[in-house]
Structure 1
Amino acid sequence: MSLETLLEKAASYGVEVDAAIEFAETPDSGLSAYVKPDRVSGPPRIKLTNPFIVKPSDAYSAFGITDTENLENETSIFKLYIASMRNGSIQCEKFQPYIDLLPSLEEIHSPLSMSSKSLYVFSNTSLQGSIISKKLESLKDDFGSVLKYNNRIEFEDYLWAHLIVTSRAFPYKIINVHAKPHLVMLLPVVDLLNHKPNSKVDWRSDANGNFEFVYKQGVDASKAKEDGKVEIFNNYGPKGNAELLMG
């Protein structure tokens, strides 16, 4: 599905994107967000309504999980849910345009999905082969612990979901103060923005569990591309290269 399909679906659920923000795909940055300085009248914002946020409760509902008080492996269950939508074993018309637009396992270029022969490039680094192997074994254990909820998933699907969640997820506690600290959520549209450390952004929520992204960095017209647009970024906090590659 296309970017336009995602934005249309988001709008149908009340999502509001600042009129100054445009999304486009470029060879260098992939899907990214831009603004034209002459159209900016205040900090650019994206308001995401609660129903259009991919939440742990969506996963519990899809898998028929009703007792969540003593539930283990919640994050693994959430990853399984994302993987299930990707491979079609769970249908979700609302989130499908977002899921379909996410990069493939090949496009993510993680060491976790590389062949053993290709891993030589990480020799004598913090990502040497033994560390990658241990991480894969740990992920396979996690996968096995939640497979009972959907046995139509392959490990490759789960690995893809792991990389998506670890690179794009936001703390669920932002919109639900009662949530366990380790729970996460995905924010369609908002996560189209690329990550840049030190970008000044604000994440807000209201009593209804809606989410608002505010870009507070300021728009520097001197950084505009030939088309007059300036890219704006999100900030997921400090992440090292190893963390970005491995999840």
Structure 2
Amino acid sequence: MELVDWVISQGGSLNDCVRVAQDASRGVHIQVKGDWPQPISKETKVLSTPIGATMSYFNAIGFQTPQATFSKHGVELPQAFIDAVAVEETCTFFLMGQFLRGPQGFWYPYLRTLPQPGELNTPLFFGEEDVDWIQGTGIPEAAVQRYQVWDERYEQCMSKLEEAGFEGLEEYTCVVETSKLEEDSGVSVLLPLIDLPNHRPLAKVEWRAGSSDIGMVVLEEVGPGHEISNNYGPRNNEQLLMNYGFCLPNNPTDYRIIKLGVKPDSNLSKAKNHQIELFPEVANNKEDHYYIFNVFYPLLGPDTAMEHSIFSPALFNSLTIMHANERERKQIQITESAISIPPSLRKWPQHSGSTISDQLRIYRNGLLTLDKAALVIATWTLARARDHNRGESWEDIKTLLNEHMLQIPEGHFSVETLSRIRVRILERESLLKKNGELFRLGELFSLLPADMQAASRECFNHVLAQAGQQVSSLQTNPEALFALVLCLLVATGRSAQARPELSSRLTRWVDFLVEQYPMLTVPSVASDTVDQLIQFVQSEQAQTWTAQDGVHWLSEDSGWLDSNWLKWAYTVAEAEMVLIPHEPLQVLVTENPGLPKLGCLYVPQE
């Protein structure tokens, strides 16, 4: 191969144990020779590129040190241009100049192996048919933004070169994409031969710079006939497609970048602005780190919570803040690295997805699998929160998980992925420490002692049946319905007769709500339903029904159905009630299923 011969002639090397190979699936690649007698061992330098054969900003400026000289090899960019533009633009135009030199250029044996104009497979060069595959993903927006940036920078550079009287400017009409290594100095370096091996996530390989060359060293055993892979870092398929024009099936380091539609006056925007006021350097951080990881993602700390192993902490915290009520907003914690609400003060957030075509099919199918797996795990957390019938033993959790996994329709996941979802759920501690902390309307009565539950339900249903005849909107107003139950529970918790019989869980929750929502600070309730309900209670003297329904522990002054307590309870219900999908896994069965929502209240365990 001409490239190998050229690199070796410049002082590079290719270890005797390896060879350059080519096939339909992997293209040109490096592999251990099939007849090599044994696996190559760790710390083997399989190839090297001499410093003199690399291309970087140092060549563009003709940099010299006692150890090395970086030659311009016939491309002289004006010093005024180099001084006026960024390092990246200098490198790009130097590369273009070398490409235009053709066979006379020093790097010609290398540059001819790179994608030529018209051969690039990245999204900026997709045809109309290919673009259809990426609709609904983050790539179109990213591609447009990148094109706009490149176009603007190109025009600026051409203007600077024209001002400097640069000869042959009319030939600089194309930009060549290629692989590059970002050194600690921030200078992009092209590495002929070293950039030939294919990328494999998590490949154990290292680039080591010496005084005369840069070597590629394997840090794992590789057997005869096996490919030796490079490692571009833990890139997801979107990054691979944008930068290199390919995707990896079952990429273990794949993750989805989420864009949150955050309004300027939202809770999250206000918290971010406050963070910048406290820590001005945060303004330089351009990335929000909102990710959904796939279930195979390996680069997680050992103490990462199960939910955070799928939904990045920044995404999880931001969604919590976006849906925070006034009580929770008072408790927002802001540090230089994070904005969050302490878990003990949260309520649950409300819930409102080769050829170029081959690569795009891999990319799109990967996103779908990633999103579906995240849905299954998020739904598992909701299933635990909704389960009031099991304990916290290992057997209880496995039984509940088995029931949950049986709800997943066949054909959406491979056996390996289903197994990994189970492992991800079971191997990591959940942010949800206890089961059964989300209660639907009727389930709230179970917080009462067993001998109080039937009478309380009867009293509630009595009021509901009678009031529903005069307040037509009552049955369709979940906040008002929750307010009725809250009013009954709080009155029970304040009852001197009943309180000694109540669980500490119920009394702590009632006391917490009364403390967090002081009666004197409760705003006026703007609800016709509540106003009509109060009128009904007063006209029918509904407070007196407690005795006939068997709720003997509530006196007329207990607060049950008192107008002020009803308004208070409605305010609390508005703030604390959350809506969760009734059967979220229906998304896997039916396109646009509608997903009816269930109102719930969060009642923490002891």
Q: TM-score, normalised on structure 2?
A: 0.34
- Letter of the aligned partner of 2:4 in structure 1? L
1 CA distance for matches of 2:38 and 2:105?
34
What are the superposed Cα offsets for residues 124-171 of structure 1, whole Å, 9 maximum, x if unpaired? Answer: 11113x4322221111112222222644122xx21xx2x31xxx2112
2:193 is matched with 189
2 CA distance for matches of 1:18 and 1:45?
5
Cα 1:138–1:69 shift into 2, 3 Å: closer
Runs of 4+ in structure 1 over 4 Å off: 65-71, 89-92
Q: Aligned with 2:55: secondary structure? A: coil
What are the superposed Cα offsets for residues 45-100 of structure 1, whole Å, 9 maximum, x if unpaired? Answer: 212211011121223342335579955321122122223333x2577533100100
1:74 is matched with 87
- Letter of the aligned partner of 1:197 in structure 2? P
Cα 1:63–1:141 shift into 2, 3 Å: farther
- Letter of the aligned partner of 2:126 in structure 1? M
2 CA distance for matches of 1:40 and 1:13?
29
1:14 is matched with 11
1 CA distance for matches of 2:45 and 2:37?
12
Within 5 Å, give how 1:104-119 maps onto structure 2: 104-116=116-128, 118-119=130-131
- Letter of the aligned partner of 1:153 in structure 2? Y
Within 5 Å, give how 1:144-155 maps onto structure 2: 144-147=155-158, 148=161, 150-154=169-173
1:176 is matched with none
Q: Is 2:228 the partner of 1:236?
A: no
Shift in Å, 1:217:
2.2
1:225 is matched with none
Q: Aligned with 1:79: secondary structure? A: helix
Answer yes or no: is the 8 Å Cα contact 2:96–2:172 preserved in 1: yes
1 CA distance for matches of 2:152 and 2:102?
22
Q: Give the number of aligned pairs.
A: 219
Q: TM-score, normalised on structure 1?
A: 0.78
Structure number with the bigger relative contact order (C-alpha 8 A, sep ≥ 6) is: 1
Q: Is 2:212 the partner of 1:217?
A: no
Answer yes or no: is the 8 Å Cα contact 2:208–2:214 preserved in 1: yes
Q: Aligned with 1:78: secondary structure? A: helix
The counterpart of 1:33, out of the listed 30, 33, 36, is 30
Shift in Å, 1:40:
5.0
The counterpart of 1:122, out of the listed 125, 129, 134, is 134
Identity of aligned residues (%): 19
Q: Aligned with 2:37: secondary structure? A: helix
1 CA distance for matches of 2:218 and 2:135?
39
Q: Gaps spanning 5+ residues in structure 2: where? A: 62-71, 244-606
Q: Gaps spanning 5+ residues in structure 1: where? A: 174-180, 222-228
Q: Is 2:114 the partner of 1:102?
A: yes
Cα 1:113–1:120 shift into 2, 3 Å: same
Superposition RMSD in Å: 2.5
The counterpart of 2:153, out of the listed 130, 137, 142, is 142
- Letter of the aligned partner of 2:107 in structure 1? F
Within 5 Å, give how 1:161-172 maps onto structure 2: 161=176, 163-164=177-178, 168-172=179-183
Larger gyration radius, structure 1 or structure 2: 2
- Letter of the aligned partner of 2:238 in structure 1? A
